[in-house]
Amino acid sequence: MSEEYDYDLVVVGGGPAGSSAAFAAAKKGVKVALLEKENSIAETVRTSGVTWIQNIKEFGIPDDCFNPIKKFSFCSPNNEVTISDTVSRAAVLDVRKTYRWLANEAEQLGVDVFVKTNIKNVIKNESDDIVGVTGIGPNGEVIFHSKVVIDATGFPSTICKAMGFVSQWERFGAGAEYEMKAEHVDSDTWWLMVGQQYSPAGYAWIFPLGGNIVRIGVGVGKPESNVDPTQRLKEIIEKKLGPIKKLGELKEVEFHYGLIPNDGLSRKTVFNNLILVGDSAGQANPLVLEGIRYAIKFGRVAGKVAAEAIKSGNTDEESLFSYEENWRKEIESKINSAGKVQDRWIGLTDEEWDKELDIIKELKPEEFIDFIKADFGLSNMIKLATHHPKLAVRQLFNLVKGKK
Do residue 289 and residue 311 come from a single domain?
yes
| Spans of the chain, pLDDT less than 70 | 376-404
Phi/psi for 387 (5° steps) reads -75, -25
Do 101 and 88 fall into the same domain? no
Can you give the pLDDT at residue 385?
Answer: 63
74 within a domain of the structure (yes/no): yes
- Please check whether residues 225 and 344 belong to one and the same domain: no
Do both 193 and 317 map to the same domain? no
Last residue of a domain, one of 229, 261, 293: 261
Are 14 and 127 found together in one domain?
yes
d(CA 219, CA 174): 6
- The reply to whether 67 and 185 lie within a common domain is yes
* Predicted local confidence at residue 133, as pLDDT: 98
Residue 52 lies in a domain: no
Q: For residue 257, what are the domain limits?
A: 62-92+170-261
Residue 312 resides in a domain: yes
* pLDDT reported for residue 239: 97
pLDDT at 226: 95
**Is residue 31 located within the same domain as residue 106?**
yes
Which of 388, 277, 279 lies closest to 326 in space, CA to CA?
Answer: 277
- Is residue 53 included in any domain, yes or no? no
Is position 56 within any domain?
Answer: no
What is the per-residue pLDDT for 387? 64
Q: Same domain for 37 and 136?
A: yes
Same domain, 275 and 226: no
Residue 150 domain-assigned (yes or no): yes
Residue 404 class from Cβ within 10 Å (0-12 exposed, 13-18 middle, 19+ buried)? exposed
Final residue of a structural domain among 331, 354, 386 = 331
Judge whether 51 lies within some domain.
no
Position 365 scores a pLDDT of 86
Domain shared by 193 and 241, yes or no: yes
Position 146 in a domain: yes
Closest CA to 173 of 93, 95, 257, 238: 257
Are residues 235 and 182 part of one domain?
yes
Looking at the structure, tell me whether residues 221 and 280 fall in a common domain.
Answer: no
Q: How many domains does the chain have?
A: 3
